[in-house]
Structure 1
């Protein structure tokens, strides 16, 4: 009986050892590490005289043994152009020995940036490592100018557009509203000769000026509040870098409904 028990014991041990050996044999120790962008997108606000640098993290599922190279290409559908809107700072495109995270370093250019933003799309590839599905990164580059409510000038040139045509231009002075840092009044928005131009009647020169107040919001959108009942106001935006105001106005003066676009540019 003891002899039979020993045989059974040895049989069980041999099964266990064989199973363990099979597991070890099936393990793929030569599998490549997988690399990926840690995030899908990011923002870079480009300031005049600023550092304007962003580090875009690239991760790996395992620490590298020796240098593991990768390639960064710029998607041709990008609205930002390398060498004009941004530059790739780091020339090394590899995971150094023992690294699990590295960075793609991008520097934005202030001169060519725009406040509404441009997009640079980067594609990650490699012949030395597997690349995950997270192999693209979108960088939004915005021109950013701090604005404390003080205009560099209060003298502005106004361009006016209505009826798919350009109306007479004019000059205007923006007068700060006392006690505020985001409001200005103007004597005329669409100009002193707009109504005479729209009606082809010179007798209206200097009438119906569409005066009012410009209010710039925290997100640089703006509201225009007309002074007269027929001057129903409008909305638009303010660019803190160019200090240009753009707005679309509605009106109740004419029997026909239409909008008027006004752009105020510093003189």
Structure 2
């Protein structure tokens, strides 16, 4: 028998408010404020340094709310008070100074994370931006990198506690999938689903993607099944850490041709 509690899904779905895909605002909005700096492609990510590679490099993107005037220098700096990673030991800022010239709106930094400092339990590097000519926005002003030494997938799979919008607090087994670079959350969907296991694909950085899947839960009021697809918010990136055995999956639940219940965060912690 599954160790699953459906949290009275029927009543939950009946009262849920669907998200409209229609933009009712026909007017054009023009931002007239300052060119404020912010990290505009997400504010956190997991980085893995693979044994024997020496280092892993990543790009960190940033932008401004409107094109800048004149020439502006923007620097990436470490928030030492809130970071456990140490510059020069755990990472190097390879390209930490960027020029935004007149009319530009985006830029990029490059950071190299070193194998010599990486540990399986992970370290945290929090970055901010500094400029003498541009101010920071009050949102998306900190970029967090969780860096750890890569662990094999067989150290990740096993039993997990789930804090889930879909099923509430429950216990699940995560196993290696049939196809390469896939894992599956066993018995995550309804017993009526064609395939009750939640199938996920992952890349070398353990970023998770998945195809739309039928949950098997039928909502009579809307005469349709609830489906699950990847989050429609590009900043919500699903991933797992094979060393700490933690995973976050961002799911958009919807009924085809009816509407969406919105983007939901599903959290799994190894036990």
TM-score by length of structure 2 reads 0.41
Higher-strand-fraction structure: 2
Which of 1 and 2 has higher RCO (CA within 8 Å, sep 6+)?
Answer: 2
TM-score by length of structure 1 reads 0.42
